[in-house]
Amino acid sequence: MPKIISHKTHTSGIALGGIGSGSMELLPDGEFHYVMISNQPRLTTRCQEDKVDDGEGSCGALSFYARIENNNKIIMRKLGMKTDTEDFTYRMFGFNKPIEEIEFDGKFPTCDIKYNDSALPVNISLKAVAPFVPHNSNLSATPGFYMDFTVENPSDSEITVSLLGSLVPDFANKTRGFKNTYVNKGAYEGIFMDQAEHGWDLLPDEGNLSFFISGDGEKSHITAEYFRYLKEYVSHSPQFGITQESFLFPFREKGVLDNSLFGEKPETIPDKPEDLTDEAIERIFNTYISFPFAKALYERVQQVYPGFGKSKAEKADLLKYFKRQAEVKMGNKFGASALCSKLTLKPYEKKEVRFTLSWYFPNHLNDKGEKLGHYYENLFKDSLEAAVLLNEKREEIHGKAIKLKELLFSTDMKEEYAESWSSHLSTIIKSSWYLKDGKFGLWEGLGFCGFHTTDITYHASFGLLALFPDLQKKQMLMGAKFQREDGRVHHFFTPDLDHVDWGFDRVDMNNQFVLMVLRDYLFTGDYSYLCSLWDNVKRAMDSIEAIDKNFDGLPDSETDRNTYDAWNFSGTPTYISVLWLAALKAAIIIAERMGDEERKLHWENLLTKGKESLEKLLWNGKYYDLWVDGDNCDKALMTNQLDGEWFLRMIGIGGNLSDERVKEVLSFIWQHNFDEESGLINASEYYKGSLSIYTKRNCQAEAVWTGIGYSFAALSLYLGLKDIADKGIKSIHDNQLRFGYFWDHWECGHHYTRPMSSFSTLNAALGLYVNNEEKVLKLNPAYEEITLPLFLSDAVIKLTVQNKNYTFEILEGSLNGYDIILPDGCKYTIL
């Protein structure tokens, strides 16, 4: 026996679906996991640690198979690694082997899979694509995705290949079942899988699906069948014996499906079919043998007893046979479907078979059972319309999603950067609510905490703003409505997008709110957005100014609660103070634009005073102390102490502290808070015996937060500390890969949102400043020669810098009217 070498199983993958529509995850085992398209509780309710339906139980609902016929030899493979006995008795019927090896290349919004098997004479690959189209939130909310299979014949002989996809929707319409319809649109065809009955009550899993096929080859289908037949069951009859039954047996034999057209569950066979009239028994018999499960049973009997089934009595015996299998052995679950394409490949020929899956499950309910719905209801009346869009607008949706992936990975920065941008954008699909009334929010962690958590959105929204600025503004405007009378902004929304929690005491959030308002305005140039939030900005600033009791320009009371919610601070904390000073700088710019000279001057004076106090109170000669409160001081070396400086530089307006000071602090933090095994922890004890009881061995102080690690790397990169940035990004990348959760960073829940801060490393690499209202674009890249993606709210661009020449390759939109400011001596060309 050969030695077996095991590696960590990867339990995260590429989320496929639309924004706010639900998704499936394609994992490195080649299977579609976490089926959360029919309002599963993990997506629609605050579950916390409770073990609730996250869709994983439906892994295997969507499966693909390949049959290869070459030199009169048939080879069959399951295009995935899942071999559960509840799906098929693989160990007893070894022809249906899982593929030997899978090469998985997940680069959201696409995923490329290469299926390797030493027995296969052809090359088979898959490209799965989510409908993720920059600057088009409508197309990107489409509930569905693409699956494109390519088959290549590398030999000098002709080979026949059949590709089969099956959909067994055990996650939907559990109460009322399915009624399916075969639909042929010419260039594409498939199955519309609607609910069999419509009731007055709202059931979350009630809706419809559309499974379609196009591309090369001879198409065949099963419109509707019992669920178990599209997996496997044991047929038993005292008269006709015991057999293993599955649609895979005739598929292996023929390489095509039966083209059955009946889409409804056949009528129930009476216990004594022999009592039926001749006409009735003939009709029911002919109906049943039109279904593949019964046809297979019937054909087997005829192979032993040719001509059996001609008499009424024989038909009655067969109907009893069918009845037992349908009602007893297969359990009555009905409505599964399958699609197939049979290809003949000449030597060295390559062909493509394309599948799409779309869905429509409108009954997203709140905790009171009231309907919230999905935004896609405004775009489609059912999944069939979504399928038509996916196929008819394939070039625009599929093409632009692929171009986004190619653009992200066109950079010649270390690949870990592009991986970090791409991988966390998938959170926008995986963890979003986009409701019928237009409200939008991202879970802080999937099924954990709440939505649009202010202190998390602050770190997480750079990518969202770059690609879907309308959705970021929706979040901000929605949250502003819940600002408390004393000016404190909301913490998070729960249990829906109409209510918030009572976390107003987190003192960092007001500052973060003001900073985001300025950033969003500068990036979009939306003056009306700025005007609508001006009053909220003033009240937010006044609220924080009010907790400066000694009037030194820095907050010194009510500062214990913040985003580090298990780690209380006291007095005047550096983290809060630096954020406050950053908010003052942002508010000054906003006040100037709003024409409020009085507030502008007031905030300028506060900023001057606050910066002086920061140095006097908190600078210890090496870094800034965690906090000072009278005679008490906690000297923890906090990684995120200059968080406000990070944000100011990421939006291109420069910091309050000198670059030299910030670089000095970052280098010191890196020296003492990072090691290759642990990564970058949140704080350490540099001065022994100098920590408060709240910090000593604190669970969050000693932890690694990848979202903070990304922002630390971005600030380091911006200031030229490339080695620190590169090592920080690689540490996060390698650790997540080792844990098997590359596309799922766990903090307070899976798919935690804060690590979307990775996108800020792109801002840092660009040295980006945008003022879209005044049409100013300023760049000061971290590299003398580089290729980078550049996203503006009205343009998508590939930027290449060589020999001080900047080439802007416009992929979408334009730079018309922009004043482009570059480093001295540089020129630019627009293509």
Q: Which residue has the tokens 């399916």?
A: 180
User: What is the pLDDT, as a whole number, of residue 657?
Assistant: 98
Q: Could you give the CA distance from residue 490 to residue 477 in angstroms, rounded to a whole number?
A: 12
User: Cα(561)–Cα(300) distance, rounded to whole angstroms?
Assistant: 72
Give yes or no for a contact between 645 and 579, defined as CB atoms under 8 angstroms apart.
no
Taking only the tens place, the pLDDT of each residue in 522-541 is 999 999 999 999 999 999 99
Residues near 746 by beta carbon (within 8 Å), at least 6 away in sequence? 445, 752
Chain centroid offset of residue 514 CA: 28
Where residue 47 falls among pLDDT bands split at 50, 70, 90?
confident
789: number of Cβ within 10 Å: 23
Give CA 413 to chain center in angstroms. 24
Task: Report CA dihedral (139, 144, 147, 148) to the nearest 10 degrees.
Answer: -40
Reported as a single tens digit per residue, the pLDDT across 125-184 is 999 999 999 999 999 999 999 999 999 999 999 999 999 999 999 999 888 889 999 999
Residue type, 155: S
Burial class (CB in 10 A: 0-12, 13-18, 19+), 630: exposed
Read off the tokens for 296: 């297979």
Q: Please give the torsion angle defined by the CA atoms of residues 443, 749, 130 and 170, in that order, rounded to the nearest 10 degrees.
A: -100
pLDDT at 781 over 80: yes
Average pLDDT over the chain reads 96
For the chain, how far is it from start to end, CA to CA, in angstroms?
Answer: 60
Tokens of 290: 């039109």
Query: Which of the four pLDDT bands, split at 50, 70 and 90, describes residue 596?
Result: very high
Residue 580 pLDDT level (bands cut at 50, 70, 90): very high
What distance in Å separates the CA atoms of residue 492 and residue 201, rounded to the nearest whole number? 30
Write out the DSSP string of 82-151: ---TTT--TTT-TTSEEPSEEEEEEETTEEEEEEE-TT-SSEEEEEEE----TT-TTGGG-SEEEEEEEE
What pLDDT does 435 receive?
98
Contact 410, 798 (CB under 8 A): yes
| φ, ψ of residue 597 in degrees (nearest 5) | -65, -35
Nearest to 24 by CA among 308, 313, 357, 266: 357
Q: Which two tokens stand for residue 257?
A: 């499906």
Q: Of 5-14, 25-34, 122-131, 467-476, give the lowest mean pLDDT range.
A: 5-14
Are 519 and 467 in contact by the 8 Å Cβ rule? The answer is no
Residue with more model confidence, 72 or 379 = 379
**Continuous H helices in 20-87:** 41-44
pLDDT of residue 321: 94
Segment (H or E) for 763: helix 760-766
Given a contact cutoff of 8 angstroms between Cβ atoms, the answer to whether 405 and 109 are in contact is yes
Q: Worst-scoring range by mean pLDDT, 1-10, 13-22, 71-80, 339-348?
A: 1-10
Q: Report whether 765 contacts 783 (CB < 8 A).
A: yes
In this prediction, residue 586 has a pLDDT band, given cuts at 50, 70 and 90, of very high
Determine the Cα–Cα distance for residues 797 and 789; give it in Å rounded to an integer: 6
pLDDT digits 0-9 by tens, 438-467: 999 999 999 999 999 999 999 999 999 999
Tens digits of per-residue pLDDT, 237-252?
A: 999 999 999 999 999 9
Closest CA to 291 of 253, 248, 254, 261: 261
Q: Which amino acid is at 412?
A: D
Q: Compute and round to an integer the Cα radius of gyration of the chain.
A: 30
Instruction: Examine residue 823 and say whether the peptide bond preceding it is cis (omega within 30 degrees of 0).
Output: no
> What local confidence, expressed as pLDDT, does residue 752 receive?
97
Rounded CA-CA distance 231/168 in Å is 8
Task: State what percent of residues in the chain have pLDDT above 90.
Answer: 94
Say if residue 431's pLDDT is above 80: yes
Identify the band that residue 87 occupies on the pLDDT scale cut at 50, 70 and 90: confident
Among 108-112, 277-281, 404-408, 583-587, which stretch is predicted with the lowest mean pLDDT? 277-281
Q: How far apart are CA 1 and CA 446, in angstroms?
A: 43
- What single letter denotes the amino acid at residue 65? Y
- Tokens representing 638 are 């906090």
Q: How far is it, in rounded angstroms, from Cα 341 to Cα 31?
A: 20
pTM above 0.85, yes or no: yes
Per-position DSSP letters for 661-687, written without gaps between them: HHHHHHHHHHHHHEETTTEE-SEE-SS
DSSP 574-621: HHHHHHHHHHHHHHHHHHHHHT-HHHHHHHHHHHHHHHHHHHHHHB-S
pLDDT in tens, 718-752: 999 999 999 999 999 999 999 999 999 999 999 99
The residue whose two tokens read 């607008």 is 393
- The answer to whether the CB of 754 falls within 8 A of the CB of 453 is no
Own/partner pairs, 244-248, CB within 8 angstroms, 24+ separation: 244/89, 244/92, 244/93, 245/293, 245/296, 245/297, 245/325, 246/88, 247/166, 247/222, 247/292, 247/293, 247/296, 247/338, 248/65, 248/76, 248/88, 248/96
Q: Using one digit for the tens of pLDDT, what is the confidence trace for 310-368?
A: 999 999 999 999 999 999 888 889 999 999 999 999 999 999 999 999 999 999 999 99
Tens digit of each residue's pLDDT (9 = 90 or more) over 782-831: 999 999 999 999 999 999 999 999 999 999 999 999 999 999 999 999 99
Rounded Cα–Cα distance for residues 175 and 794 (Å): 46
Report the C-alpha gap between 404 and 129 in whole angstroms: 11
Whether omega for the bond prior to residue 495 falls within 30 degrees of 0, making it cis, is yes
Once rounded to an integer, what is the mean pLDDT over residues 64-87? 94
Q: Is the pLDDT of residue 197 over 90?
A: no
Phi first, then psi, for residue 823 (nearest 5°) are -60, 155
DSSP assigned state of 4: P
What's the pLDDT at 52? Answer: 86
Cα–Cα distance list, 695 to 579, 655, 679, 683, 688 (Å): 20, 28, 19, 9, 12
CA dist list (Å): 407 to 411, 471, 755, 789: 8, 22, 21, 6
- Distance between CA atoms of residues 645 and 666, nearest Å: 11
Q: What pLDDT is recorded for position 757?
A: 98
Pairing of strands 350-360, 674-675: unpaired
Structure tokens at 491: 């913490």
State the Cα–Cα distance between residues 499 and 497, nearest whole angstrom: 6
3-state secondary structure at position 717: helix
Reply yes or no on whether the pLDDT at 759 is more than 90. Answer: yes
- Given this model, what pLDDT does residue 53 score? 87
Distance between CA atoms of residues 291 and 293, nearest Å? 6
